[in-house]
Amino acid sequence: QVQLVESGGGLVQAGGSLRLSCAASENIFDFNYMGWYRQVPGNQRDLVANINVGGVTRYADSVKGRFTISRDGNSKTIYLQMNDLKSEGTAVYYCHARRLRSEWWGQGSQVTVSS
């Protein structure tokens, strides 16, 4: 069973930065996609950013230019660098991995942006 363990959430002031990490139990290049979603209570889980096995990245329009997704194959970890955070960035952030028709989620990491 694939495990995704997140770390790095917390409380930050608007305009500040945080970096989320997601450590996978398997080689990250065995997944078609890995990425980050976020969810606020009562809303659906929305894509923030992802990266495919070839390294192509995709971002939600709301975070383009401020967030960066990256990966380190040696440590089997992906990252989400979040800069210039805004109050609407407050959410639970989930790491996600997909391989063919299977997908896995991390436990979620709370990010709170205070204004």
Burial class, 13, CB count within 10 angstroms (exposed 0-12 / middle 13-18 / buried 19+) = exposed
Averaged over successive runs of 10 residues, the pLDDT of the chain (115 residues) comes to: 96 98 97 98 97 97 98 96 97 98 97 96
Strands of the 77-82 sheet, one edge to the other: 4-7, 18-24, 77-82, 67-72
pLDDT of residue 70: 98
pLDDT of residue 101: 96
Note the pLDDT of residue 31: 97
SS3 37: strand
